[in-house]
């Protein structure tokens, strides 16, 4: 694989061509890095599953360049989904909609719906736009980590996760540190009201304000599969424990105003919720790199992005590092 730092337009065109040729391209987004393939190429998409070691019935999000590309992928769009796409794209929200013919079983995990997102990152948008110019319809991309592990927010993390699994012709586009740091909000838009499947930077309040509808959460049995919905996910190798007192030798992650317990190893001191989301995954990785056995996380309070942080740290905790 080739890593391209500060990609130029020439590099972007090369990467778009690689996608058309069926290669994989890791690209930065505002949330986390994605492992991309041509979403209509069965063989290329199946490589994503083997590189990640991800079960094939877990659907991929299709990344498109703008709301204008939505019609190609979906059969039916409720008004509130159009409002969400208009308001928040490009941005960290994925909409699950009834699929069109273009969205085959190999991208939807055999489900009758497909997830779509327009990422808010200049490199991602340039790549998708060039790919569409070459005749592509969308880039299928999960987070660029091995199945069950922590999503990468830096190029070094991408290399650590996937370096050993990519082919010589695959590309990695460097975009620096991901600005948001946790994955997109996922909304099931196949019902009369929006259902949050995964909390993220686009908050419940923002969605309710934009749609005028009450948001539901995913507790009901809706028959939708999302790997991020499994209990153990987003897990480092260390055992993650939530809201417990750190002992000497434990890793410790908390807001900056919470003092480090004696002997604990501070892994991050974010000053606010946005910074907390941005540094969380790197802090978990740092714990693994130091070979720590346990990482204690003091979760932030409040709604909005704090909810996403509690969701991910809770899942990291139930993973107990056993997933990989």
Residues in the site for Mg ion, rule: CB under 5 A?
143
- Which residue lies nearer to ligand TXA by CB, 189 or 254? 189
Residue 186 burial (CB count, 10 A): 25
65 interface partner picked from Mg ion, ligand TXA, none, CB below 5 to 8 A per type: none
User: Does residue 141 bind ligand TXA (CB under 6 A)?
Assistant: yes
User: Does residue 108 bind ligand TXA (CB under 6 A)?
Assistant: yes
Cβ of residue 10: shortest distance to ligand TXA, in angstroms? Answer: 24
Q: Which stretch binds ligand TXA (CB under 6 A): 157-165, 222-230, 257-265, 278-286?
A: 222-230
User: Does residue 228 bind ligand TXA (CB under 6 A)?
Assistant: yes
User: Does residue 115 bind ligand TXA (CB under 6 A)?
Assistant: yes
The contact pattern for ligand TXA, residues 26-55, with x = CB under 6 A and - = no contact, is ---x-xx-x---------------------
211 interface partner picked from Mg ion, ligand TXA, none, CB below 5 to 8 A per type: none
Dist. CA 25–CA 181, nearest whole Å = 20
Dist. CA 118–CA 68, nearest whole Å = 11
Q: What does the DSSP assignment read for 291-315?
A: T-SEEEE-PPPSSTHHHHHHHHHHH
Which residues in 205-293 belong to E strands, given as ranges?
216-217, 239-242, 251-253, 265-268
Q: What is the total count of residues that contact ligand TXA (CB under 6 A)?
A: 28
Which residues in 100-232 belong to E strands, given as ranges?
113-117, 139-140, 171-173, 185-188, 195-198, 216-217
- Cβ contact 97:190 at 8 Å: yes
Describe the crossing of helices 122-133 and 9-20 by its angle, rounded to 10 degrees: 50
78 interface partner picked from Mg ion, ligand TXA, none, CB below 5 to 8 A per type: none
- Which residue lies nearer to Mg ion by CB, 32 or 95? 32
What's the CA dihedral at 72, 195, 312, 52 to 10 degrees? -30
Q: Which of 12, 16, 18, 61 binds ligand TXA (CB under 6 A)?
A: 61
- Which residue lies nearer to ligand TXA by CB, 59 or 78? 59
What are φ and ψ of residue 130, in 5° steps?
-65, -40
- Cβ contact 185:120 at 8 Å: no
Chain residues that interact with ligand TXA, rule: CB under 6 A: 29, 31-32, 34, 58-61, 94, 96, 108, 111, 113-115, 117, 119, 141-143, 183-184, 186, 224-228
């Amino acid at each position: 694989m080739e890593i391209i730092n500060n990609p130029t337009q020439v590099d972007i065109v090369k990467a778009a061509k690689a996608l058309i040729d069926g290669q994989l391209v890791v690209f930065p987004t505002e949330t986390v890095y994605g492992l991309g393939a041509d979403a209509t190429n069965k063989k290329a998409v199946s490589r994503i599953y083997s590189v990640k070691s991800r079960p094939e019935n877990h659907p991929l999000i299709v990344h498109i360049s703008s709301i204008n590309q939505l019609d190609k992928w979906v059969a039916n769009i409720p008004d509130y989904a159009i409002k969400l796409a208009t308001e928040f794209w490009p941005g960290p929200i994925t909409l699950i909609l009834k699929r069109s013919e273009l969205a085959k079983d190999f991208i939807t995990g055999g489900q009758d719906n497909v997830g779509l997102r327009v990422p808010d990152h200049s490199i991602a948008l340039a790549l998708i736009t060039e790919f569409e110019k070459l005749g592509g319809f969308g880039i299928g991309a999960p987070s660029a980590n091995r199945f069950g592990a922590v999503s990468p927010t830096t190029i070094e993390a991408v290399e650590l996760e996937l370096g050993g699994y990519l082919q010589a012709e695959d590309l990695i586009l460097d975009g620096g540190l991901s600005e948001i740091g946790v994955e997109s909000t996922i909304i099931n838009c196949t019902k009369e009201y929006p259902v949050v499947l995964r909390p993220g930077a686009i908050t419940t309040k923002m969605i309710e304000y934009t749609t005028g509808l009450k948001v539901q959460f995913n507790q009901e049995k809706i028959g939708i599969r999302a790997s991020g919905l499994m209990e153990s996910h987003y897990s480092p190798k260390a055992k993650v424990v939530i809201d417990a007192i750190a002992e000497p030798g434990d890793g410790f992650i908390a807001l900056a105003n919470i003092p480090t317990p004696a002997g604990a190893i501070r892994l991050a001191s974010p000053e606010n919720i946005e910074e907390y989301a941005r540094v969380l995954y790197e802090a978990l990785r740092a714990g693994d790199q130091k070979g720590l056995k346990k990482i204690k996380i003091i979760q932030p309070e409040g709604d909005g992005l704090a909810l996403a942080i509690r969701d991910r740290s809770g899942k990291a905790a139930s993973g107990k590092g056993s997933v990989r």
